[in-house]
Structure 1
Amino acid sequence: MTATAETSVGELAEAPGLPEVADPSAVSPRDARELSRLFFDRLAELEEGTPEYQYIRNTLIEMNMSLVRYAAGRFRSRGDEMEDIVQVGMIGLIKSIDRFDLARGVEFPAFAVPYIVGEIKRFFRDTTWAVHVPRRLQEARVTLARATDELTTRLGRSPTVREIAELTSMSEEEVIEARVASNGYNSVSLDAPLGADGNDDDFALADYIGVEDTTMELVEDFHSLAPLMSTLDDRARRILHLRFVEEKTQAEIGKEIGISQMHVSRLLSRTLAHLRSGLLTTR
């Protein structure tokens, strides 16, 4: 019995005019179908909230839990915990019990299963996507997966976008969009090993992702520096190139240009002061 039901079946020993059910959860699906008719018939006569109403309602829930297990089994391959799926399915079962009308002449299992399945599908739609995507793309993912499996079996190879589009009556652009959106269904930790055996020696996804490029912060400075460089004479630009691009010493620069090291030092200081002042003025 889940925590959803307000009253335990054991709180009332019996309901007048109904067979006593010692352990509702142990009732077979066939017997549950027959007993449910009797209990629903009696439930319609009672006022909601009374002890007898709660007893009958809770008994119906426990007797029909097999419907939840049946519906949940269809989603076993989704990778989620089966216990969570069953609990969500129980919500659908309870809703179907509260809305079932015996006078419609419909068998309760036929009425309840769509409610249960719908609740489970809603759970997957709202909670399992790692990245939120539009509902149409969530539904397209399911269509895409079925078409891909069918064509792979039929063709013996992976189908092309055009072949999937023809089978699903979708455009090729819609197929591509749905494929991209499918990447948002699952997320993987950046620290998770990529190797199948999970050894510590395996590389993690983070090892293949680039680090922050600190030089990107200099792009704005380079952009602002360009017009200032054009104001320098050829010798000043040559000295800057030899010092900061070719990384030569002041003595090597002086020897190449034909001036003293002290002169190179004074020219560098003057040129850098000019550029620095220009950068500060433009900000």
Structure 2
Amino acid sequence: MYTAKGQLDANALLKQYSSLVRRLAHQMIAKLPANVELDDLIQVGMIGLSDALSRFDAAQGVQFETFATQRIRGAMLDELRGNDWMSRGDRRHQRTIETAVHKLEQKLHRAPNESEIALEMGLSLGDYQDLLTKVRGTQLIYLEDMSGADGDDDYLDRHQVRDEEASPLGRLQDQRMRQALVDAIKNLPEREQYVMSMYYEHDMNLKEIAAVLKVTESRVCQLHSQSIARLRTRLREW
């Protein structure tokens, strides 16, 4: 969209791509703790979109939406990093869940159910489900604990595109990780497979998934968190 003077119409583009900001914010919020506000992410994302408009150069041969997506995500991640969105306590809870899942898988030779995980952690089923809601799932591919045992890495940095990821070796490693992820998802309990498929393959948000499964959005959040814990356990071994 251009003005009569042949310049990009910033106002028109801000309006047109505001839906992109909302979509990216919804995708990101599902991976974050409940204390992160969706409206805050959207507001910061709009700043990223405005920045993209001011910096975009069509001569570089990149589509505006691709360029804007990087700027919007970057702005959101900078905001999250600045506010230390994931506390050490949440990281510790996440690792505790994963440890219990891993121990039970080794013992039972199958995926443990929620009651078994709760018992292993010394929690009631209700308390365990509350904990799943609290941790609210974390990053699926860039696993927090793969690079160190202390869990203090700023793994938001791992959302950023690195040069090596564009190399043939990087692409091959990514393909292998993706295949490992596909195999791990196939071993999830059936309902959790549905959740992951709807969320990651069909780009549905938690509210939409809840409507399909006829459960509450909070319940979908719990299933998503539990799935992430199982997958992180499997992929750490990869």
> TM-score scaled to structure 2, two decimals?
0.37
> TM-score scaled to structure 1, two decimals?
0.32
Which has the greater radius of gyration?
A: 1
